[in-house]
Structure 1
Amino acid sequence: MAESLMDIKRRIASTKKTGQITSAMQMVSGAKLSQIEKNSVAYQVYTDKIREIVTHLAASQLIDIARQKSSLQAEPADSTIKKAIKHEVTLSNLLVERPIKKTGYLVITSDRGLVGAYNSSILKAMVQMISETHQSPNEYAILAVGGTGADFFKARGMNLTYEYRGVSDVPSFEEVKQIIKTAVAMYDNGVYDELYVCYNHHVNSLTSGFRAEKMLPITDLDVSEVADQNLEYITEPSVDDALDAILPQYAESLIYGAMLDSKTAEHAASMAAMKSATDNANNLISELSIKYNRARQAQITTEITEIVGGAAALE
């Protein structure tokens, strides 16, 4: 049965309202994208600086000294001694690779939909990576940041050990500090032996790509990056205290930087999805308008034919 003129008019009006909503959401996502891109650029300055400091320490062999001291420690019998070297053990955990019994994955997704293929691409890549790498759920632990990922892993019975929902659209370091500290503490306590942060990397407004970066232990320091190899440091109060303060900050900066990158990709995906929805609404309105005009023209033609036929019958 053909649609009536009234039905077509209702569809046009409804589509126009939807287009207005998606257009507004596109502008909102664009504003958020612009803001978080500025934050990301500013934060990159801090990340580069702290990496430079840690790499300089590596070049001056302070990190190697700390590694050697940690590896030479014997298991203390006295609990007082254990407490005295506690920070050295933590320092060693951040630097030294240990036998991999369990791998941790910090998976960053969004808390909402309307972001195109942003979430599905991450989750599909995660399922594939886990199925290819691990034989049982005991070999991995998932830390989900974002409700979409948490619900996905729960529904499939995967080993979800931590979840966090409600990260703001432009997150601050203070806001996500608890997530970062939890991830580092779980690694430090041996919940997993290595940590990967998995997210969508922002390339540009139209493109993003899945990325899984190894964040812990810190093993990617390249001393060749340092221009001056003959560096000497005087540390106060000690080498271990200096590294114990800097290395956790470095690990935290890597994770927070990944979260900023992920949120940037999310806003870009949302903006692209809303633009596509707005364009589709405009195309549908054009098609419905043509359909309405044709139906109206057919109705007028029918009315004229009926009038002419009635007049002819009266003659």
Structure 2
Amino acid sequence: MGAQLRVYRQKIKSAQTTKKITRAMELISASRIQKALGRVQASGPYARAVTRAVSAVATFSNIDHLLTTEPEKVERAAVVIFSSDRGLAGAFNTNVLREAEELSTLLRSQGKEIVYYLVGRKAVGYFAFRRREAVQEWIGGTDSPAFELAKEIGETLVAKFIQPASEGGVDEIHVVYNRFVNMLTQTPEVVRLLPLEVVEGVEVPEDDDILPLYEFEPEAGDVLDALLPVYIESRIFNALLQSAASKHAATQRAMKSASDNADKLITDYTRLANNARQSEITQQISEIVGGADALSVKS
């Protein structure tokens, strides 16, 4: 009985230690997510301004540009997966990797060859464990993304898109990341980055308005050459920021659940320890009473 009591006390101590760790991680994530959300909101006006500029060029020019023209045949597609460098975030990485696998299945069914670009240690580890190759990997800095990382990724993707597929280039680029909805919801998002699909910023006139006429200086093709890489970098940076905010929210939620589970374990083991202690006391009293009865009988 005493050995069982020691086991329960040891488990209570372990649960209390675990609770201290998970509680600390929950508070750290809660403090970081506010900064991450601030960065997401701060990047919004710039991204919208770039989108409007790209929409104007793509909508009001009549040129066929590589970055806005659908290829006749898509031979190779690139899939960029945004994960985290650290775990303890619930299903955060699992969801985005599952979404990437579903996208890959769809693209293969369309007869497209797939090449992967990985962001975050969890995606790199997932592919390494399954002995699957990736063209390029980026690790580190996913908790607080820097624009330099987005610029490096964007330059790499644009270079591969411009390069012919026969020489190792790609015809399509898709990104998969977790989009922050609120503190309780982060959803995997799939976006075809290139060829460009301009769905925002198109000007719609009112009843009495007339659409303005646009003149491009220099030529519209030169404007697209200079503007669209900036657009790609802003989209990549936004995906990094969304993924970082989603990861902190997922970690906070997971650590809150772990702390609650630790509380439940402490309560359960405390009850079992009290029962074991009460049984031990009852047994000791029974032995004392039995011994006293035996002595009284002999006398």
| TM-score of the superposed pair, with normalisation by structure 1 | 0.84
CA distance change for structure 1 residues 112 and 137 in 2, over 3 Å: closer, same or farther?
farther
Structure 1 residue runs without a partner (length 5+) = 68-91
Cross-structure match for 1:48: 48
CA distance change for structure 1 residues 229 and 280 in 2, over 3 Å: closer, same or farther?
farther
Cross-structure match for 1:200: 178
Which secondary structure does the structure 2 equivalent of 1:170 belong to? coil
Cross-structure match for 1:291: 272
Do the aligned partners of 1:137 and 1:159 also contact (CA within 8 Å) in 2? no
Note the alpha carbon deviations across 1:144-171, whole angstroms, 9 max, x for none: 1011112212333434111111124121
Which one of 101, 105, 109 corresponds to residue 131 of structure 1?
A: 105
**Aligned amino acid, residue 290 of structure 1:** R
Note the alpha carbon deviations across 1:36-84, whole angstroms, 9 max, x for none: 111001101111111112222334x23x23x2xxxxxxxxxxxxxxxxx
> Which deviates the most, 187-196 or 155-164?
155-164
Cross-structure match for 2:86: 112
Do the aligned partners of 2:43 and 2:238 also contact (CA within 8 Å) in 1? yes
Kindly report which structure 2 residues correspond to 1:27-66, keeping only aligned pairs within 5 A, or say none. Answer: 27-59=27-59, 61-62=60-61, 64-65=62-63
**Aligned amino acid, residue 286 of structure 2:** T
Kindly report which structure 2 residues correspond to 1:9-158, keeping only aligned pairs within 5 A, or say none. Answer: 9-59=9-59, 61-62=60-61, 64-65=62-63, 67=64, 92-98=65-71, 99-134=73-108, 139-158=113-132
Which secondary structure does the structure 1 equivalent of 2:135 belong to? strand
CA distance change for structure 1 residues 141 and 173 in 2, over 3 Å: closer, same or farther?
same
Q: Residues of 1 paired with 2:239 and 2:249: CA distance?
A: 15
Shift of 1:94: 1.6
Which one of 301, 304, 307 corresponds to residue 282 of structure 2?
A: 301
C-alpha RMSD of the superposition: 2.3
> Which deviates the most, 28-37 or 231-240?
231-240
**Aligned amino acid, residue 284 of structure 1:** L
Q: Residues of 2 paired with 1:2 and 1:52: CA distance?
A: 74
Note the alpha carbon deviations across 1:198-235, whole angstroms, 9 max, x for none: 11222211112221101111132467434466323454
Do the aligned partners of 1:176 and 1:256 also contact (CA within 8 Å) in 2? yes
Do the aligned partners of 1:169 and 1:263 also contact (CA within 8 Å) in 2? yes
**Aligned amino acid, residue 192 of structure 2:** K
Q: Residues of 2 paired with 1:137 and 1:153: CA distance?
A: 22
Kindly report which structure 2 residues correspond to 1:183-194, keeping only aligned pairs within 5 A, or say none. Answer: 183-190=157-164, 191-194=169-172
Q: Residues of 1 paired with 2:220 and 2:102: CA distance?
A: 42
Shift of 1:197: 0.5
Shift of 1:180: 2.1
> Which deviates the most, 227-236 or 49-58?
227-236
Q: Residues of 2 paired with 1:128 and 1:94: CA distance?
A: 25
Do the aligned partners of 2:150 and 2:236 also contact (CA within 8 Å) in 1? no
| TM-score of the superposed pair, with normalisation by structure 2 | 0.88
Which one of 150, 164, 170 corresponds to residue 144 of structure 2?
A: 170
Which one of 207, 219, 241 corresponds to residue 197 of structure 2?
A: 219
Cross-structure match for 1:280: 261
Q: Residues of 1 paired with 2:227 and 2:150: CA distance?
A: 19
CA distance change for structure 1 residues 40 and 223 in 2, over 3 Å: closer, same or farther?
closer
Shift of 1:106: 0.4
Shift of 1:6: 1.5
Which secondary structure does the structure 2 equivalent of 1:94 belong to? coil
**Aligned amino acid, residue 241 of structure 1:** D
**Aligned amino acid, residue 18 of structure 2:** T
Q: Residues of 2 paired with 1:132 and 1:193: CA distance?
A: 16
Which secondary structure does the structure 2 equivalent of 1:142 belong to? strand
Do the aligned partners of 1:154 and 1:160 also contact (CA within 8 Å) in 2? no
Shift of 1:306: 1.0
Do the aligned partners of 1:167 and 1:176 also contact (CA within 8 Å) in 2? no
> Which deviates the most, 261-270 or 213-222?
213-222
